[in-house]
Structure 1
Amino acid sequence: MLMTQADENSKKFCVVIVDGSPLFREALAQLLHEDVEFGNVAETGDKQLGMFYIDRLQPDLVMVDMHMKKGSAIDVLRYAKNLHRPAKVVMMTDRDDSEELMATVQLQAEGYLSKLIEVPELLSQIKRVCHGKVVVSNRLMGALTRAFREDTGEVDRDLNCLTSREKDVLKCLSIGMSNQQTGEYLSIQLGTVKVHVKHILKKMGFASRTQAALWARDRGVTI
């Protein structure tokens, strides 16, 4: 059945939270339950149960504690991305180290949020991801940039391989714009934006739009 624009606008986001801290995940689940933009919210601290919820609910968003038992966060992220309709994923952390960060970037997580930010900002950033943006907490930007440099230090990338329009799209990616927002900002069709993003990733050798955004920010290629 086709979804009308009205149905799309009234759709509530389904979220699965997989986090080892009972206090944090229960408080986060309650925060989302109380917001009109969210519908089903499931939470657990167990990797296998988290995967069951993801498979059963086919959520719009999965929020994952980056520091679960070794490998568990990556497993949950990979599982969410392998759905028929891949979920958006936000990695949550209370630290600013770079361990395992690049693995999550390569698997195309859309968000990196610190558990130490204020509640209104946390809720705002979660909504931004749900609406198609890539978000990174300011306190995590340094760690992600360091991890990116360490992982790709030997890769030679030349911005001049991009067309003028592709550079414009990359600048939009650098500040976390969604494809829809990029199209509106540049006055081009959504399908055209998607083609430009695909070309940027291929020409520059990026694994994801998050990688592209980090590279662009690090080099001042931004709006």
Structure 2
Amino acid sequence: MSHLLPVTTILGCKNSMLREGLRHILSSTRFRLHAESLTHGEVALDETAQAGPLLFILDANLYPSGLAEGVWSLKQQYAQARIVVLSDSFNLEGMKAAFQSGADGYCLATTGCEALIKYLDLVMLGEVVFPSAAFLAAISTHGEEMDLSKEAPAIKVSSLQVASAPEGHDSPIRTLSSREAEILQCLMQGAPNKVIARKLDVAEATVKVHIKAILRKIRVANRTQAAMWAVNHLSSNSADASWVQSSDRLAIHSLR
């Protein structure tokens, strides 16, 4: 099977201890380390190295002032390569910028050895992975505070375009009702169904029906993907956000 092929792997680590730790973790896997490392943000690979699956594992600290630019530069030079960013701590804006520049994964440096291998396997299968618990904690304004220094499970995102261009009149969110838009914003805050039902004064079963409709309309598979989709489409300066706010005003006006 193609996903069992050896993967030429290039490490880009500023910290020598992290680099040696990754070498040890990957030593008995299909991720074959290339002789050269990306210590200064640049590496020259011969045609043999580029012929098969190619993976870059980047320490976010390698690009202290321009992680996104570093990812973009590598993607321009090696378009077929997969890129996974390792970060000491979770940074929502940093993760979004990395994905928008072409990264395929964003993991915490505290991730366990076996979990990291599984995440890398998912990336090589074409999935996008990121620490879902840390992500939900970062976007939640009402949820319980979480310890982001602990290992958080990663989720895979299939057919979800993290980097999105501005939406036009055919934007999926414009098909949502004002109530569905409210619930989507609750999902973006990490609220569970019970909390959403209490906040909107509706039955929990009704919330489930609305969420199912939301997932279908914005074309994602689960509530976590919906939350990340909302982060990218309901920013305060987006046209979609303006539409949601206008929709809410119309709904309020109709009740007067």
Range class of TM-score, shorter chain: 0.5 to 0.7
Does residue 1:52 correspond to 2:66, yes or no? Answer: no
Gaps of 5+ in 1: 1-5, 177-211
Q: Against the structure 1 CA distance between its residues 160 and 125, is the aligned structure 2 distance closer, same or farther, given a 3 Å change threshold?
A: same
Instruction: Please give the TM-score of this superposition, normalised by the length of structure 2.
Output: 0.51
Is the contact between residue 18 and residue 63 of structure 1 (CA under 8 Å) also seen in structure 2? yes
Does residue 1:170 correspond to 2:219, yes or no? Answer: yes
- Cα distance in structure 1, aligned partners of 2:15 and 2:33: 20
User: What's the offset of the Cα at 1:23?
Assistant: 1.0
Gaps of 5+ in 2: 141-162, 177-212, 234-256
User: What's the offset of the Cα at 1:92?
Assistant: 0.7
- Cα distance in structure 1, aligned partners of 2:36 and 2:131: 22
| Larger RCO (alpha carbons 8 Å, 6+ apart) | 1
Q: Deviations over 1:88-115 (max 9, x none)?
A: 1111111123353332121121111001
- Cα distance in structure 2, aligned partners of 1:175 and 1:70: 29
| Higher Rg of the two aligned structures | 2
- Cα distance in structure 2, aligned partners of 1:79 and 1:30: 28
Q: Against the structure 1 CA distance between its residues 82 and 45, is the aligned structure 2 distance closer, same or farther, given a 3 Å change threshold?
A: closer
Counterpart secondary structure, 2:61: coil
Identity of aligned residues (%): 19
Q: Mapping of 1:136-215 within 5 angstroms? A: 136-142=130-136, 145=139, 158-159=172-173, 167=216, 170-172=219-221, 214-215=228-229
Q: Against the structure 1 CA distance between its residues 39 and 214, is the aligned structure 2 distance closer, same or farther, given a 3 Å change threshold?
A: same
Q: Against the structure 1 CA distance between its residues 158 and 9, is the aligned structure 2 distance closer, same or farther, given a 3 Å change threshold?
A: closer
2:102 aligned partner: 108
1:18 aligned partner: 12
- Cα distance in structure 1, aligned partners of 2:139 and 2:43: 29
2:128 aligned partner: 134
Counterpart secondary structure, 2:62: coil
Q: Deviations over 1:98-145 (max 9, x none)?
A: 353332121121111001122111111111111111111235314775
Counterpart secondary structure, 2:9: strand
1:97 aligned partner: 91
Q: Against the structure 1 CA distance between its residues 172 and 34, is the aligned structure 2 distance closer, same or farther, given a 3 Å change threshold?
A: same
- Cα distance in structure 1, aligned partners of 2:68 and 2:10: 15
- Cα distance in structure 2, aligned partners of 1:73 and 1:217: 20
- Cα distance in structure 2, aligned partners of 1:60 and 1:130: 9
Q: Mapping of 1:58-77 within 5 angstroms? A: 58=50, 60-77=54-71
* Equivalent position amino acid for 1:115 in 2: A
Q: Deviations over 1:159-218 (max 9, x none)?
A: 3559x9x94893249878xxxxxxxxxxxxxxxxxxxxxxxxxxxxxxxxxxx8821699
Worse-matched range after superposition: 137-146 or 60-69? 137-146
Q: Against the structure 1 CA distance between its residues 131 and 145, is the aligned structure 2 distance closer, same or farther, given a 3 Å change threshold?
A: farther
- Cα distance in structure 1, aligned partners of 2:68 and 2:232: 25
Computed over aligned residues only, the root mean square deviation of the Cα atoms, in angstroms, reads 4.1
Q: Against the structure 1 CA distance between its residues 29 and 125, is the aligned structure 2 distance closer, same or farther, given a 3 Å change threshold?
A: same
Counterpart secondary structure, 2:229: helix
